[in-house]
């Protein structure tokens, strides 16, 4: 609910997300605004991120526009803290769905697909810091369940089950093992 309240009280035409334990690089907002200003059909732009997961550091992947559209129907390809979106378009989807305690971002991105392009900038413009105390860690199982609910009318049930299991195990075993499945 607080995300929607913050959006409703904002005055800009763009909304940039950031979680308290993450760090945006100085060029992030400028690069995202420039892209949004050049391309009126882009409704959301994220970036790659350096992810520090309890000391294990990796970089989120770059995905081209067609791959974003394809993969988004299977799992959330955006680092929530890295996104900027058009406020006007976000109102068209009814803001974040407050029914979801977690994964409300994933649900919103799926609904935004109807209104324009969703892109990921190839530059890492954010550091995402995960710990045992992070919401993503504490509520991982709920995120998996909500992801399943969000995808249920988008992909066949067997694929939905498969991607839910992949998401679940990605936090339990090394990513290199999950990618083998």
Q: Looking at residue 173, what is its pLDDT?
A: 57
Three-class secondary structure of residue 71 per DSSP: helix
Confidence of residue 178 (pLDDT cuts 50, 70, 90): very low
Euclidean distance between the first and the last CA atom of the chain, given in angstroms as a whole number: 36
Weakest-pLDDT range from 77-81, 133-137, 153-157: 133-137
Instruction: Record the pTM.
Output: 0.90
- What mean pLDDT value characterizes the chain? 90
- Average pLDDT of span 10-20: 93
Confidence of residue 174 (pLDDT cuts 50, 70, 90): low
The two structure tokens encoding residue 68: 């974003």
Per residue in 97-149, pLDDT (tens digit) is 999 989 999 999 999 999 999 999 999 999 998 877 777 778 888 999 999 99
Q: Which residues of 16-38 are buried (b: 16+ CB within 10 A; e: fewer)?
A: bbbbeebebeeebeebbbeebee
pLDDT at 88 over 90: yes
């Amino acid at each position: 609910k607080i995300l929607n309240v913050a959006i409703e009280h904002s005055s800009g035409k763009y909304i940039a997300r950031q979680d308290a334990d993450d760090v945006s690089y100085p060029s992030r907002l400028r690069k995202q605004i420039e892209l949004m200003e050049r391309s009126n059909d882009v409704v959301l732009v994220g970036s790659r991120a350096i992810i520090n997961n309890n000391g294990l550091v990796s970089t989120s992947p770059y995905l081209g526009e067609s791959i974003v559209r394809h993969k988004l129907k299977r799992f959330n390809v955006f680092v929530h803290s890295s996104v900027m979106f058009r406020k006007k378009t976000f109102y068209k989807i009814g803001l974040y769905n407050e029914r979801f305690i977690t994964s409300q971002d994933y649900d919103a991105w799926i609904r935004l697909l109807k209104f324009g392009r969703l892109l990921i900038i190839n530059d890492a413009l954010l550091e995402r810091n995960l710990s045992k105390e992070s919401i993503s860690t504490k509520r991982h199982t709920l995120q998996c369940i909500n992801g399943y609910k969000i995808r249920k009318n988008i992909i066949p049930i067997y694929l939905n089950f498969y991607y839910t299991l992949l998401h679940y195990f990605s936090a339990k075993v090394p990513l290199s093992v999950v990618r083998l499945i």
